[in-house]
Structure 1
Amino acid sequence: MLSSSSSSSNGSSHRRAPRAAAVALAGVAAFLAAAVQSGAAAATPERAPAAPAQADPGALPVKLTPAQRTALIREADAQKAATAQELNLGAQERLVVRDVVKDADGTVHTRYERTYAGLPVLGGDLVVATAGDGRTEAVTRATRAAITVPSLTPAVAAGQAERQALGAARAEQAGRPDVSGGPRKVVWAASGTPALAYETVVGGLRHDGTPQELHVVTDATTGERLWAYQAVRNGTGHTVYSGTVPLTTAQSGSAYTLTDGARGNHRTYNLNRGTSGTGTLFSGADDVWGDGTPSNLESAAADAHYGAALTWDYYRNVHGRNGIRGDGVGAYSRVHYGNNYVNAFWSDSCFCMTYGDGSGNANPLTSIDVAAHEMTHGLTSATAKLVYSGESGGLNEATSDILGAAVEFHADNSSDVGDYLIGEEIDINGDGTPLRYMDQPSKDGSSKDTWYSGIGSIDVHYSSGPANHFFYLLSEGSGARTINGVSYNSPTADGLPVTGIGRAKAEQIWFRALTTKFTSTTNYAAARTGTLAVAGELYGTTSAEYKAVQDAWAGVAVGARPGGPGGGTSFENAADVSIPDNGAAVTSSITVSGRAGNAPAGLQVGVDIVHTWRGDLVIDLLAPDGTAYRLKNFSSSDSADDVNTTYTVDASAEAANGTWQLRVQDQATRDTGYVNSWQLTFP
């Protein structure tokens, strides 16, 4: 969108039934790396090599044909029951395969939705990374809470939920709000304790004429409104005349149509000032479209058709993705929406982009970056499905800005050169200023340069600022510079410089994190964790690229730099490891490198384990030479859930470099869990 606008037991002899502990989430904040935003250090080497690394070719995605993608989805679907069992999902939970990405080394990242007793679980999505030999390498979850509700029978009537949703729409001055099909029963798990709920979708129009798909989630037991977000992502853009460009069209008899058979049969339609339906497919007796003026309706159609082709080609050629959904099917475009409509938007329901003609119907919003921005909203819906509200909404919006800018650079169009300015040619303020600035978002007067604890409560177009700023810093670095004739000067939150790694690497990191690490509830802390994980996969955790990701996030106040304020140099493993009930010990490894001499006397071991009745657990730290340091003993009376603490170990007799392991064993029956993450911090 480009708009400016605990329970306890009765005694050690009576064990309670197992119950997975719920992790408190802020809004729809993701579980990953929650400690980072309070200043805890994250995995990073002490020193990075001077020479930039090349991406590990085995960690890059392969280009899947529709048939190959279908085969992988079919295989994942056949194994989903076994996967659910391996993930310790409850008896009433089922997995639904949604997307798949395959790396060159054979690793497959499968994205799942979940159901509970047949009901959709909102916020229950997860991504499972499976090695080529079938081993589960990592699991990224939108929520850590156990999916269970006390009852499947609502105490609140569906009509009450519908009235609440319509009221929410009217409060936003929506025009002609309507509910088609009524509320559907779901399980809400994106924040807090999972609850039986209703999801109501309100249609109609927003106050500015944009089609509305307002999702309102209502607690089916209390009637409380749990969440609300818009599913139509729209934006204000501009028409930049892209010059004389080639268009892929189709010929039928003596007529030509704006149909791109090379790109999933993408079509461009004329709404002719209408606000509903598909419109009329552009056709003509010759294969020449428009004359470059807004008064010729074909001109905007040519821009939209061209922008869609550029975006398709970018995702195919740079990231190996065959269409927005990865299935080879093209979305379609509608131009000339409404009258004086100063917006453009993406809608999942029609799988299409729609463009207005701007003020006075004189500036069609069909530029390269707008087309790429809107299509990228479709990509996000097909992958991470970032909820369009709170911090995840800001990341959703930033993703469209980030990859929209990447498409504009990749297009290499002399009439619309690449830049880090959003809507740079829209004269929205009457002074020719851009809509947004990625190098310093606050220059637009509303966007935020850096993260802060309340950023999830502001408009997603402004909360996108820190992610846009992060991407600019990661690509180009801090300070003053000129790129394609545009001057930039990017500051940092901590006043320290950031050295960029180049846009090509930065966009690979963001795209891979979006498609293999992010979930519907990812927040800024989790985005940091995901991008660091990707940088480690592509370039290694001792690379300049890895350090640059950490520095760029520190530059927008998400996490700390290695050795800087917030504590020491840290190494982390965030991959889930299941702990068998009353079974053999399991281990999780961290390889430390770049340290001189022995480990410190004050080595800090941060442990995050999700497990009911934590007294069952015995936890040890294993040094590289195998020496065991006991962190936690068995205790039959400790009935609390989870281990989330930092232990201090005198490891001064051990060499710092090498593979350290966290060893965990469950020594009693009936309670289960997993190692969520752990880290070593060297003061």
Structure 2
Amino acid sequence: MPQHHRALTRRRRATGLALTAIGSLLALAAPGLATAAPAKPAPAKITATPRTGATQTALTPTRRAALIRSAQSAATGTARRIGLGAQEKLVVKDVVKDTDGTTHTRYERTLAGLPVLGGDLVVHEDAGRTTVTRANAARLTLPSFSPRIAASGAAAKALAASKQDKVTGAAVENASRLVVWAGSGKPVLAWETVVEGVQPDGTPSELQVVTDADTGKQLLSAEKVHTGEGTGQYVGTVPLGTTQSGSTYQLTDPDRAGHKTYDLNQGTSGTGTLFTDDNDVWGNGLPSNRQTAGVDVAFGAAATWDFYKEAYGRNGIRNDGVAAYSRAHYGSNYVNAFWQDSCFCMTYGDGSGNTHPLTALDVAAHEMSHGVTAATAGLVYSGESGGLNEATSDIFAAAVEFHENLPADPGDYLVGEKIDINGNGTPLRYMDKPSKDGSSRDSWSSTLGSVDVHYSSGPANHFFYLLSEGSGAKTVNGVSYDSPTYDGRPVTGIGIENAAAIWYRALTTYMTSTTDYAGARTATLSAAADLFGAYSPTYLAVADSWAAINVGNRIALGVNLAPVADQVSGVNQVVNLQLDAYTTNTGSPLTYEVTGLPEGLTVSPGGLISGTPTTLGTSDVTVTVTDGTGASATDTFSWQIAYVYANTTRVDIPDNGPAVESPVTITGREGNASATTKVYVNIVHTYRGDLTVDLVGPNGTVYSLLNRSGGSADNVDQTFTVNASAQPLNGTWKLRVRDLASIDVGYIARWQLTP
């Protein structure tokens, strides 16, 4: 079959990266907005070239498959080497290799043969060094593999969840499967159910519901359908990759693994009809011509494929050389577009009146980037990780626009500006100031995880704009922006190409399914260190951009010393305290000087304070860290050496059941306890408002520490002060904990008494 390529108008690219996913493009209203302060324009952009050794090697499908086979054959030994348990196994998902030879192997896990959701990890291996990035650091173990809730019960709960999400025609096509849920906190046995149906706007629904197999509690509800030469309505006149079959031309792209573009003819299932033409001149720019949407769709797929390949050597959405396919003209008056992993396909509606198709370039790139996220980090489409999932698609949508630099659609930091869903010429989202859409957040806050993912993406989009362009007023490609910062301080941009390169490496190398905003900061800093060097100007710009959306702190030039909290240690008990310091003067060695240490403690050249304190008392400790240039930082804290008694044995807390106790016994002391007795409590529990926590003295007196306060917040990790002066020191003290409500469970991890 001959191949045919026709270019009516030559296009070429400028530099750039960014843009947004339209996952569904539309979402419900969100809570109030976070505020950001105006920021002065930053200095001119930071220019830098990524280190070649840290860029990923372009792998052929055959080479990639060979690396995956090799990693899988070594998986048993890898599992032992990184400390997994005997019942755990690793299943290779992907392997990427840097040009310096470092490999990053992404694994899923099983426990006793059950899939572990949220148990994914990445093993990084270079010459002589292995490190691991984990979605969940908790020990993977279960007390039982026998569910109390039947599969039918889990299915019923999943159907109820779909009803709450207003999914119509809901049905469980395949039986619920038993899994281990490690998406957050302590791993539990669970059922995973996928409910299929139709979302309120007509988008197909594949609702993933995870249900605790012991309690019936819903652990996750996440939507898996992410709604997201010719002349197109939006891209103008562009070249298309087509294939000739006899006297007919087909929208089958021979240069991109045979990507096909179909006309669904207003249907909502199947693939529809492959677009064909008799003269290889497609569309006329008007929605009345059915080929026009096909041109936008086919070009969007080609541009996205080219961007990932040219920028990062990525060979298709899954990096396996296999093309997705696209479907235009979905439904009637359907105002959305979406990506489905289940069919590995992109689908586009024709919009209001079937005259405003959602086929713009940023929409296409956004939706297909959901596929890239699914094939790499697999960010769960819920909470903060869901917002990062959406932002990733917006980021790479912008990147594709800048990369293509089309006269009809030049690069910008607006999302969906061409499709005009709102009917008033406004974009769906704004990356420079997300709150301009009326619902998105500009900055991170502790409530961000409860916001719809299309709006919780706002801070990450804002971070990316600031990292690319910097703060303050400016004009890019004819569009005016004025980006604020949370702290009111300016940010200097590094350019969209480098910003996107950092995000891509973070996504494919360091992020996992449960990465939140704090984790994304860590991942992008690691990526920036790989590409541009730790504490380089580019690295510091990444930290500045996160601080500008209220995630983490800016990094000061020179020596940085993390503050040390006031310490309480037990007399004659071993101490190990690592000081956390670094310098932005790359390669300059650090010297640690510590004065006022309790007797028995010393500091090593690497900043580790260790030893066994021998004398009771409190001292003021001063730490000074100096680098080779003479730059220094100082911190002072108090260190009390006291009698400290602790119990670190785990005690499980029954759900809505009787109280449990954890004891410590004191002997050889005289007199009574202090009027300022300190009780440190560390309880892992997913709803602290269920709990009462008491200290019981040796004579039976009960001191209430916590009485069902804290609401739905997780865990208890705090120190309480009680007047226990009526208690004799000697005897058995107990921490008593009771759970007074059903569903959430937990355990006493540790408690400590300083009487």
Match of 2:534 among 520, 534, 541: 541
* CA distance in structure 2 between the partners assigned to 1:535 and 1:214 by the alignment: 35
* CA distance in structure 2 between the partners assigned to 1:560 and 1:141 by the alignment: 23
Corresponding position of 2:192: 199
Task: Return closer, same or farther for 1:598/1:410 CA change in 2, 3 Å cut-off.
Answer: closer
The one-letter code matched in structure 1 to 2:585 is: G
Match of 2:58 among 48, 60, 63: 63
User: Aligned pairs, how many?
Assistant: 575
Please give the secondary structure, in 2, of the residue aligned with 1:335.
Answer: strand
Match of 1:88 among 83, 86, 93: 83
1:283 deviates by 1.7
* CA distance in structure 2 between the partners assigned to 1:326 and 1:634 by the alignment: 56
Match of 1:124 among 111, 119, 129: 119
Deviations 1:153-188 (A, max 9, x none): 111111111011011111121110010111110000
Task: Return closer, same or farther for 1:570/1:57 CA change in 2, 3 Å cut-off.
Answer: farther
Match of 1:430 among 423, 431, 435: 423
Corresponding position of 1:110: 105
Deviations 1:264-306 (A, max 9, x none): 2111111111111111111222212212111111110111000
Matched, 1:594 2:616: no
Q: Report the structure number with the largest CA radius of gyration.
A: 2
1:256 deviates by 1.4
Residues 18-417 of structure 1: pairs in structure 2 closer than 5 A: 52-131=47-126, 133=127, 135-235=128-228, 240-417=233-410
Partners of 1:128 and 1:139 within 8 A in 2: yes
* CA distance in structure 2 between the partners assigned to 1:258 and 1:648 by the alignment: 72
Task: Return closer, same or farther for 1:620/1:204 CA change in 2, 3 Å cut-off.
Answer: farther
1:542 deviates by 2.7
Q: Aligned residues: percent identity? A: 57
Matched, 1:622 2:644: no
The one-letter code matched in structure 2 to 1:376 is: S
Partners of 1:346 and 1:378 within 8 A in 2: yes
Please give the secondary structure, in 2, of the residue aligned with 1:405.
Answer: helix
1:429 deviates by 2.9
Task: Return closer, same or farther for 1:648/1:458 CA change in 2, 3 Å cut-off.
Answer: farther
Partners of 1:344 and 1:355 within 8 A in 2: yes
Partners of 2:528 and 2:534 within 8 A in 1: yes
Greater mean alpha carbon deviation, residues 488-497 or residues 260-269: 260-269
Corresponding position of 2:738: none
Corresponding position of 1:581: none
Task: Return closer, same or farther for 1:175/1:619 CA change in 2, 3 Å cut-off.
Answer: farther
* CA distance in structure 2 between the partners assigned to 1:251 and 1:356 by the alignment: 27
1:630 deviates by 3.3
* CA distance in structure 2 between the partners assigned to 1:621 and 1:127 by the alignment: 34
Q: Give RMSD over aligned pairs.
A: 3.2
Partners of 1:592 and 1:657 within 8 A in 2: no
Partners of 2:207 and 2:221 within 8 A in 1: yes
Deviations 1:188-226 (A, max 9, x none): 001121111000000011111100000110111111111
Corresponding position of 2:707: none
Match of 2:548 among 550, 555, 579: 555
1:601 deviates by 5.2
Please give the secondary structure, in 2, of the residue aligned with 1:399.
Answer: helix
Task: Return closer, same or farther for 1:603/1:331 CA change in 2, 3 Å cut-off.
Answer: farther
1:51 deviates by 7.2
Please give the secondary structure, in 2, of the residue aligned with 1:354.
Answer: strand
1:253 deviates by 1.8
* CA distance in structure 2 between the partners assigned to 1:63 and 1:603 by the alignment: 53
Task: Return closer, same or farther for 1:602/1:265 CA change in 2, 3 Å cut-off.
Answer: farther
Partners of 1:323 and 1:330 within 8 A in 2: yes
- Normalising by structure 2, we get a TM-score of 0.72
* CA distance in structure 1 between the partners assigned to 2:199 and 2:589 by the alignment: 64
Matched, 1:516 2:509: yes
Which has the larger share of strand?
A: 2
* CA distance in structure 1 between the partners assigned to 2:51 and 2:362 by the alignment: 30
1:431 deviates by 2.0
Greater mean alpha carbon deviation, residues 384-393 or residues 541-550: 541-550
* CA distance in structure 2 between the partners assigned to 1:79 and 1:403 by the alignment: 34
1:656 deviates by 8.2
- Normalising by structure 1, we get a TM-score of 0.79
Match of 2:523 among 530, 541, 566: 530
Task: Return closer, same or farther for 1:453/1:487 CA change in 2, 3 Å cut-off.
Answer: same
Task: Return closer, same or farther for 1:193/1:249 CA change in 2, 3 Å cut-off.
Answer: same
Partners of 2:326 and 2:347 within 8 A in 1: yes
Task: Return closer, same or farther for 1:59/1:590 CA change in 2, 3 Å cut-off.
Answer: farther
Residues 602-641 of structure 1: pairs in structure 2 closer than 5 A: 622-623=604-605, 629-631=608-610, 633=612
- Ranges in structure 1 where 5+ consecutive residues have no aligned partner: 6-47, 573-584, 606-617, 636-646, 659-670, 672-683
The one-letter code matched in structure 2 to 1:630 is: I
Corresponding position of 2:560: 569
Deviations 1:69-112 (A, max 9, x none): 11111111111111100111111110010011111101111110
- Ranges in structure 2 where 5+ consecutive residues have no aligned partner: 1-20, 28-42, 564-575, 615-619, 632-648, 650-755
1:136 deviates by 3.7
The one-letter code matched in structure 1 to 2:489 is: L
* CA distance in structure 2 between the partners assigned to 1:631 and 1:96 by the alignment: 40
Match of 2:463 among 465, 470, 483: 470
* CA distance in structure 2 between the partners assigned to 1:169 and 1:77 by the alignment: 37
Deviations 1:376-406 (A, max 9, x none): 0000000000000000000000000000000
Partners of 1:240 and 1:416 within 8 A in 2: no
Task: Return closer, same or farther for 1:488/1:411 CA change in 2, 3 Å cut-off.
Answer: same
The one-letter code matched in structure 1 to 2:110 is: T
The one-letter code matched in structure 1 to 2:533 is: G
Please give the secondary structure, in 2, of the residue aligned with 1:212.
Answer: strand
The one-letter code matched in structure 2 to 1:252 is: S
* CA distance in structure 2 between the partners assigned to 1:74 and 1:180 by the alignment: 32
The one-letter code matched in structure 2 to 1:623 is: P
Partners of 1:63 and 1:322 within 8 A in 2: yes
Partners of 1:49 and 1:542 within 8 A in 2: no
1:653 deviates by 8.9
1:425 deviates by 2.4
Corresponding position of 2:637: none
Partners of 1:598 and 1:652 within 8 A in 2: yes
Partners of 1:440 and 1:490 within 8 A in 2: yes
Deviations 1:288-330 (A, max 9, x none): 2212111111110111000100000000000110001000001
Partners of 1:421 and 1:438 within 8 A in 2: yes
The one-letter code matched in structure 1 to 2:529 is: G
Corresponding position of 2:26: 4
Task: Return closer, same or farther for 1:588/1:269 CA change in 2, 3 Å cut-off.
Answer: farther
The one-letter code matched in structure 1 to 2:610 is: L
Greater length-normalized contact order (CA 8 Å, ≥ 6 residues apart): 1
Partners of 2:388 and 2:516 within 8 A in 1: yes
Partners of 2:432 and 2:462 within 8 A in 1: yes
* CA distance in structure 2 between the partners assigned to 1:497 and 1:563 by the alignment: 14
Please give the secondary structure, in 2, of the residue aligned with 1:251.
Answer: strand
The one-letter code matched in structure 1 to 2:347 is: T
